[in-house]
Amino acid sequence: MWSSLMAVFRQQWLNSKELKEVRARENEGGPSCYLVRRHRLGNRLLSLSKRMLADGALSPSKAAAILGVKPNNVFSLTDGVA
């Protein structure tokens, strides 16, 4: 029973993955600027910044200086970090 259920979910996952790849190929633009910047900065710096922002130990303007974005864009940059 579990193996058949797992097979159904795996097939759905593979189909959605293929659909995303097709849509990505159709899109002529590149990845978002936040995705590229996240990759360049690294997970450790981003997660540290996110934790310090949540604790109030780091202001958005100081985080913006560290991360290289405008203060209004700090939270959108750190949203995708675990």
Write out pLDDT tens, residues 27-74.
777 788 888 899 999 999 999 999 999 999 999 999 999 999 999 999
Cα-based angle 82, 28, 16 (whole degrees, multiple of 5): 50
- Residue 74's CB is within 10 A of a number of other CB atoms, namely 23
Higher-scoring residue by pLDDT: 12, 23:
12
pLDDT at res. 82: 65
pLDDT at res. 31: 80
DSSP assignment, residue 14?
H
* pTM tops 0.75: no
Please say whether the beta carbons of 77 and 68 come within 8 A: no
User: In whole angstroms, how large is the CA radius of gyration of the chain?
Assistant: 18
pLDDT at res. 32: 81
Distances (CA, A) of 30 to 4, 15, 36, 55: 38, 23, 10, 34
pLDDT at res. 35: 86
